Amino acid sequence: MSVLDNVDAATNLAKNNELQLLVFRVSKKESSSYYAINVFKTREVVNAKDHYLTELPGVHPLLEGTIVLRNMQIPILNLPQWLGVSLTEEEHNDSKYLICDFNGVVLGLRIVSAYRVVKKSWEEMHAPDSYRLKENGVVINDTRLEDGSMCLILDYEKFLAEVMPQALVDVNESPGNLKELEIPKKLKNGVTLIAEDSATAQRHLSQLFKNAGFQYKIFDNGKKLIDYIRSLDNPSEIPAIITDIEMPEMSGFTVVKKLRENPATKDIPVIVNSSMTGATNKREAQGLGADGFIDKTKSHNILPLIIEAMHAKGIY
């Protein structure tokens, strides 16, 4: 039976501030780390030796090539090498491809073994500031397994930005048709709040707002954003809020729920910006009261979406 069998719907978990993680390793060494990825972003685990790998010329060295799986050409990325791990011949022969879906881009990550699936509360996910001290840091947060072992969650968006930048938003692209839109004064003069834990995604959103000349403030997770709002004398002055779904301590769904429960923030336009782009997640976000949902590959259109949401609420 696959380790991905019998997985609960990710959306039902996220709205309860929970998630399921597929735990895996990139080495057979006893001292090697455990890593994890949200199950919702995974499709299956296959044996690498069962699939012919076609090398591609002129690509990033960590893009090993492509395989054909279920009539789909899938790029394979060398995750161990990105982590500074050199596989032995035995490990390479026994390695797996973890097939994932990032923002609608299907790709495979080379791993050595899939361990198992664990359920966690976002409150059990920790994001020490030490992970953010270095520009080249690859860990985004961590949690503990039942035996006390630390399990690391990687900044997969950073990995993709380095190896397959076309899979993410183009920050140099104009932020939509702003010149053709009536931009609300509240957006021009106010400070939009953003909850996003990926440093790569933070840089993308920062550049988009700078290109447009709008003010913004970014928080590393949803709890920090909610705590900041609670410290304000007049939260209703906030023009708009952007939140990711997957974040340590507090998921984006919980952020939306808390914003809508608070009389001072219930009318603020909220946009969910996420790589968890399934229809169920979009419906859940809308059901909780979000005013829009956009996947991270289309974040260059997030400002027009905010303006549209503000106009829908009569904010001009």
pLDDT for 285 equals 85
> Is residue 22 one of the residues assigned to a domain?
yes
> Is residue 4 one of the residues assigned to a domain?
no
Which two tokens mark 180? Answer: 């053709």
Residue 134's identity, in one-letter code, is K
- Any idea of the CA torsion for 304, 235, 216, 311, to the nearest 10 degrees? 10
Residue 172's pLDDT band (cuts 50, 70, 90): low
Beta strands in the chain (DSSP E): 18-25, 34-38, 42-47, 63-69, 72-77, 96-102, 105-111, 113-121, 139-144, 150-154, 191-195, 215-219, 241-243, 270-274, 292-295
95 vs 196: CA distance, rounded Å: 32
Q: Based on the fold, state whether residues 124 and 193 are members of the same structural domain.
A: no
> Is residue 169 one of the residues assigned to a domain?
no
Instruction: Print the domain residue range for 285.
Output: 178-312
8 Å CB contact between 97 and 77:
no
Is 20 or 8 the better-scoring residue by pLDDT?
20
Cross-sheet strand order for the sheet of 18-25: 113-121, 18-25, 34-38, 150-154, 139-144
3-state secondary structure of 114: strand
Residue 304's identity, in one-letter code, is P
Q: Based on the fold, state whether residues 99 and 41 are members of the same structural domain.
A: yes
Which two tokens mark 22? Answer: 């597929």
Whichever domain contains 104, its CATH number is 2.40.50.180
Q: What is the DSSP letter of 54?
A: B
Angle at 202 between CA 107 and CA 214, to 5 degrees: 130
Q: Based on the fold, state whether residues 136 and 234 are members of the same structural domain.
A: no
> Is residue 1 one of the residues assigned to a domain?
no
pLDDT for 7 equals 39
Lowest mean pLDDT among 13-17, 188-192, 304-308: 13-17
Q: Is residue 287 packed enough to be buried (19+ CB in 10 Å), middle (13-18) or exposed (0-12)?
A: exposed
pTM of the model: 0.79
Q: Based on the fold, state whether residues 149 and 194 are members of the same structural domain.
A: no
Q: Based on the fold, state whether residues 190 and 97 are members of the same structural domain.
A: no
Which two tokens mark 209? Answer: 């707002």
pLDDT for 180 equals 80
Rg of the Cα atoms in the chain: 20
Q: Considering its fold, how many domains does the chain have in total? A: 2
Answer with the one of 97, 122, 156 that is the final residue of a domain.
156
pLDDT for 170 equals 63
Q: Based on the fold, state whether residues 87 and 212 are members of the same structural domain.
A: no
Which two tokens mark 124? Answer: 């059990």
Q: What is the DSSP letter of 61?
A: T
Helix (H) or strand (E) holding 186: helix 185-189
Q: Is the pLDDT of residue 297 over 80?
A: no
Whichever domain contains 306, its CATH number is 3.40.50.2300
pLDDT for 13 equals 61
> Is residue 14 one of the residues assigned to a domain?
yes
Q: Which residues fall within 8 angstroms of residue 289, CB to CB, at 6 or more apart?
A: 256, 257, 259, 260, 266, 270
> Is residue 34 one of the residues assigned to a domain?
yes
Residue 6's pLDDT band (cuts 50, 70, 90): very low
92 vs 1: CA distance, rounded Å: 23
Percentage above 90 pLDDT, the chain? 62
